[in-house]
Homo-oligomer: A and B are copies of this chain.
Amino acid sequence: MIIILKSKVSKKDEKAVLNEIKRLGYRPHVMHGVARTVIGAIGDETRHPTLEALRAWPQVESVMPVQKRHKLTSREANPENSTVKVRDVVIGGPELIVMAGPCSVESESQLMTTAHAIAKSGARILRGGAFKPRTSPYEFQGLGEKGLKLLAKARRETGLPVITELLSEDHVELVAEYADILQIGARNAQNFQLIIAAAKTGLPILLKRGLSMKIEEWLLAGEYVLAHGNRQVMFCERGIRTFETYTRNTIDLAAVPILKKETHLPVVVDPSQGGGRADLVAAICLGAVAMGADALLIEVHPNPREAWSDGAQQLTPAGFADLMAGLRPVAGAVGRTLRKPDAG
């Protein structure tokens, strides 16, 4: 920690700060500058109490951390890339993985049509919401267990592993029974109790970025998973909230290279939530792949015009096939492979 004192602090007040630093187990190191006195507090910040309370001292101007707060998720701790393995699919390796499917599971025919279509186009994982977090209590909240059963059936028929959102601690056992990957949604991105419960299932976890989450906070949410013994974590950029209203959210694609630098874990991009508009999905996917994303999470619906949720951002199966065709050369240009259509 670095502690900066206010200007014109008395010797006595400076001494008090030094004593407090020592009391908490750090070794203080004083620098008297031209305009300010700066104190370095030397010691392991993870083993001693935080010095942040010094901010409340009247003689203190500011307190700044020196050490990074994320440890197990950090690239420093683990210089090599980690991969997440789901059945026969490896996320974080040379293959670009596409996860696709409807926003919400609505019916057997809707889901099966979608699952077969995306598998044919080269998707490797099926997404679909059975429990839906909705802004209003009057909106469709998902089919629940019935939706999970349909996802399991689609997996049997297509061989695609399944990712679905977990939004309640009370559903952990139920959802874990059906899902191959647990998705933690943006609204629960700092619901640490849910994250811990998900971590304990041992299943891979996809952590969506919260709408107003700094990258450091996101890494710390991932740290909760690793600190609870589960190393199968992916970070999924899906847009942050800004003043711009043309798009539903502002997708922060620079987060992709940043995460690749800061963490060893795979990085996913969700272009559907990110832009909130079907007509932007293809361009965002191209950008994400060019910038190093390991996987994409794309909403596809057999008839988006009649979708029960988020119709405006879902692709048709034909649109998805076009997208995959357009992705292939860009993936190749950055050294990634992409499953061929009908290869399943």
Which residues of A are interface residues toward B (Cβ below 8 A)?
A: 2, 4, 7, 20, 29, 31-36, 38, 40, 42-46, 49-50, 52-57, 64, 66-67, 69-71, 76, 133-139, 167-170, 187-188, 190-194, 210-212, 214-217, 220, 223-224, 227-228, 240-247, 250-254, 256-258, 261, 274-275, 277-280, 283-284, 286-292, 304-308, 311-314, 329-330, 332-334
Residues of the B chain whose Cβ atoms lie less than 8 Å from the Cβ of A34: 42-45, 67
Roughly how many angstroms separate A194 CA and B13 CA in the complex, as a whole number?
A: 44
Q: Which residues of B contact A49 (CB under 8 A)?
A: 308
Residues of B contacting A33 in the complex (Cβ-Cβ under 8 angstroms) = 40, 42-43, 66-67
Q: Is there contact, CB below 8 Å, between B167 and A284?
A: no
A27 to chain B, nearest CB (A): 9
Q: Tell me the number of copies of this protein.
A: 4
**In this complex, what residue of B is CB-closest to A195?**
B137
Q: Are A280 and B257 in contact (CB under 8 A)?
A: yes
Report how far A211 CA is from B211 CA in the complex, Å: 9
A240 & B250 in contact (Cβ 8 Å cutoff) = yes
Question: In the assembled complex, which residues on chain B have CB atoms less than 8 Å from the CB atom of A46?
Answer: 138
* CB closest chain-B residue, reference A70: B136
Q: Is there contact, CB below 8 Å, between B214 and A212?
A: no
- Cβ contacts A to B, 13 pairs, < 8 Å: A2-B64, A33-B66, A40-B40, A54-B305, A64-B64, A134-B192, A135-B217, A170-B193, A191-B191, A242-B243, A251-B253, A261-B279, A330-B333
| Distance, CA A298 to CA B64, complexed state (A) | 25
Kindly name the residue among A20, A42, A139, A193 whose own CB sees the greatest number of chain B CB atoms within 10 A.
A193
Tell me, in angstroms, the Cα distance from A76 to B6 when the chains sit together.
10
The complex places the Cα of A251 from the Cα of B305 at a distance, in Å, of: 31
Shortest beta-carbon distance from A324 to chain B in Å: 14
Given the complex of chains A and B, what is the CA–CA distance between A314 and B313 in angstroms? 37
Chain B residue contacts of A313, Cβ below 8 A:
56
- Expressed in whole angstroms, the minimum distance between the Cβ of A225 and any Cβ of chain B is 9
A245 contacts B245, CB within 8 Å? Answer: yes
A244 touches B250 (CB 8 A): no
- Given A76-B7, A193-B167, A242-B242, check contact A311 B250 (CB 8 Å): no
8 Å CB contact of A56 from B31, B246, B305: B305
From B53, B246, B250, A312 is in contact (CB under 8 Å) with B53
The answer to whether B214 and A246 touch across the interface, beta carbons within 8 angstroms, is yes
Contact of A254 among B20, B167, B284 (CB under 8 A): B284
- By a CB distance below 8 angstroms, the chain B residues around A242 are 240, 242-243, 250, 252
Neighbouring B residues of A243 by C-beta, 8 Å: 212, 214, 240-243
| A280 CA / B54 CA spacing, docked (Å) | 16
Contact B279 A254 (CB under 8 A): no
B residues within 8 A CB of A71?
A: 138
Q: Report chain B residues within 8 Å CB of A288.
A: 287
Residues of B within 8 A of A305 (CB): 20, 53-54, 56-57
User: Are B52 and A42 in touch, CB under 8 angstroms?
Assistant: no
- Whether A312 pairs with B56 at a CB distance below 8 angstroms is yes
> Please, how many angstroms separate the alpha-carbon atoms of A280 and B204 in the complex?
29
Complex Cα distance, B330 from A275, in Å, reads 22
Assembly CA distance A41 to B273 (angstroms): 26
A135 to chain B, nearest CB (A): 5
